[in-house]
Amino acid sequence: MSKLYLIPSPIGNLEDITLRAIRILKEVDIILAEDKRTTGFLLKHHGIQAKKFYSHHQHNEHEGASEIVDKMLAGENAALVTDAGTPGISDPGYLIVQECLKHGITVECLPGATALIPALINSGLPADRFCFEGFLPLKKGRQTRLALLAEETRTMIFYESPYRLVKTLQQFSDLFGPERKASVSRELTKLFEENKRGTLAELIEYFSAKTIKGEIVIVVAGKD
């Protein structure tokens, strides 16, 4: 029976990939990549030669999923790799998983790299109960989503662009209050990794005074 493997890829440091992930990438018939250049660099670093190598991203995943499922029904195994982290977490993956399950194809997700857990643990905020909100809507639905979080008691985790970080922190401050504890993690696992902790007011002041680069994870304490 064919199988789809969801392979977590490093979020920065290329060593953050499991031995099993490397073995499976060498064995599968098809490797699906969000960006072939990014994944190609990872494969080369670990000495992996893809047998069949296809792009699978947000712009082609609807039509691409059916094509890949047809190949798998014919007996081929596939692995999905996104640019960074675990497929399906704010990245392509959901649609092809649904298609595989619909056609009785086994899906297996390997454990591995994802940005939200290191950011949560680094924050020093309670990690026993938390909610992952991913990227907030840019316009439509943003205020509605934020309003729903006003009474959230669990630690909240968000992904954000460096270009919108200060604006989002200000919105959080307006909603949750400037003294709410929070943490911003930037460039996790990379050379210039930064984890800045404090109140929302302190974080706004700090990041307003500097040029911000890299992938961002915001962790905010829940309501007391």
User: If you search the block for the tokens 């985790």, which residue do you land on?
Assistant: 157
Beta pairing class for 30-33 and 78-81: parallel
pLDDT digits (tens, 9 = 90+) for 74-87: 999 999 999 999 99
Q: What is the reported pLDDT for 145?
A: 94
Q: What is the reported pLDDT for 63?
A: 82
Residue 38's beta-bridge partner residues?
none
Domains (ranges, CATH) in the chain?
Answer: 3-109 (3.40.1010.10), 116-220 (3.30.950.10)
Contact at 8 Å (CB) between 201 and 163?
no
Return the percentage of the chain with pLDDT > 90, whole number: 91
| Length of the chain as a residue count | 224
pLDDT digits (tens, 9 = 90+) for 34-77: 999 999 999 999 999 999 999 998 888 888 889 999 999 999 99
Q: What is the reported pLDDT for 59?
A: 83
pTM to 2 decimals? 0.91
Q: How far apart are CA 190 and CA 212, in angstroms?
A: 15
